[in-house]
Amino acid sequence: MDKTGPIEVPIEKILPFLPCLMTLYVYPMIVLLTLVSILIFPFLFVVYKIFTRWTDDRIMRALIWLYGRVWLAGMSPFVRFVREGFDQAVLLPPYVIVVNHYSFFDTYCMALLPFHNIAFAVRAWPFKMFWYEPFMRLAGYLNVEELKLQGTLSGGAKVLQSGGSVLFFPEGHRSRDGELQRFSSVPFELACETGIKVLPLCIIGTDVLFPPGRWTMRPAKIRLKALPPIDPSDFEGQDRHMKLRKHTKDLMARAIAEIQVER
């Protein structure tokens, strides 16, 4: 009788199919995660309400952060996540957070942050995802295109005053060439008006994972690096928000270039 054991497939034969396998896995994983989350959301909301006494928007932000954490776990067979610069002794939210933008999944990766009380300030199109929209509204996310300048500044100030942070992707679009694009002044105007520090975050690797214009995904190593917070009171003059903006962008460009050399 012939002895047969497990079939060994060399890893080199699997590698070309890895993106395909990953894509076939990730899309259903996200759909399932979202459906289950929507179903259990009322129960979790009530539990948080009873045990934390947090406001509704803060509870929603915590639940969104949890959703993101589960997403991180779900992606872990194919993606390695690394975060640095998040020394808890140094990080004292709230902040006006600014992050560079490569991929649709950048927002999901914000679950890597060690704090959850964050309202995202984004364009109008994410609010068109009807399965996410009610939760985004409940979490107090800011639709910058709908609110315009005054609404964004007052809405952002309200979040910051209550102890929450506000997160912006100041480029406004995903970068298609890996270069940092022009930064919007709005987050820096908010920081100057409220006196809240800017926390620059650099994210690398999501451009490999899922860049704009592609529907398939690739295994990647994603690094999220926090740079030291920047105090807007260090800048003076009428155009201080522009000086703050330029300084932040320069720091982030340098940090991203260093990380890219290392990878």
Partner 1 sequence: MSIHVSSCGGMRMTDQEAIELINTSLAEEFELDPKRLVPEAHLRDDLELDSLDRVDMVVVLQKAFKIKIREEAAIRQIRTLGDIHAYVLGKLRGPQ
**In the bound complex, what is the minimum distance in angstroms from residue 182's beta carbon to partner 1?**
5
Instruction: Name which of 224, 38, 60 is nearest 129 in CA terms.
Output: 38
Assess 176 for contact with partner 1 (CB under 8 A).
no
Q: Which is nearer to partner 1, 82 or 124 (CB)?
A: 124
**Cα dihedral angle (90, 93, 95, 98), rounded to 10 degrees?**
70
Contact 247, 206 (CB under 8 A): no
Helix axes 18-52, 56-75, angle to 10 degrees: 150
Instruction: Name which of 108, 84, 119 is nearest 228 in CA terms.
Output: 84
Interaction residues for partner 1, span 225-244 (CB under 8 A): 238-239, 241-242
Helix axes 144-161, 186-194, angle to 10 degrees: 30
Q: Which is nearer to partner 1, 250 or 258 (CB)?
A: 250
**In the bound complex, what is the minimum distance in angstroms from residue 102's beta carbon to partner 1?**
18
Interface residue with partner 1, options 50, 87, 150, 236 (CB under 8 A): 150
State the Cα–Cα distance between residues 100 and 259, nearest whole angstrom: 13
DSSP-based three-state secondary structure for 123: coil
**In the bound complex, what is the minimum distance in angstroms from residue 173's beta carbon to partner 1?**
9
Is 223 exposed, middle or buried (CB count within 10 Å of its CB: 0-12, 13-18, 19+)?
buried
Assess 124 for contact with partner 1 (CB under 8 A).
yes
Assess 177 for contact with partner 1 (CB under 8 A).
no
Query: CB count, 10 Å around CB of 120?
Result: 23
In this structure, which amino acid lies at residue 259? Answer: I
Assess 149 for contact with partner 1 (CB under 8 A).
yes
**In the bound complex, what is the minimum distance in angstroms from residue 189's beta carbon to partner 1?**
5
Query: CB count, 10 Å around CB of 93?
Result: 19
Q: Which is nearer to partner 1, 78 or 168 (CB)?
A: 168
Q: Which is nearer to partner 1, 83 or 158 (CB)?
A: 158
Assess 218 for contact with partner 1 (CB under 8 A).
no
Site string for partner 1, 66-105 (x = CB under 8 A): ----------------------------------------
Instruction: Give the binding-site size for partner 1 (rule: CB under 8 A).
Output: 18
Assess 145 for contact with partner 1 (CB under 8 A).
yes
Interaction residues for partner 1, span 181-210 (CB under 8 A): 182, 184-186, 189
* Residue 166 bridge partners (DSSP): 96, 119
Assess 211 for contact with partner 1 (CB under 8 A).
no
Contact residues: partner 1, CB under 8 A? 123-124, 144-145, 148-150, 152, 172, 182, 184-186, 189, 238-239, 241-242
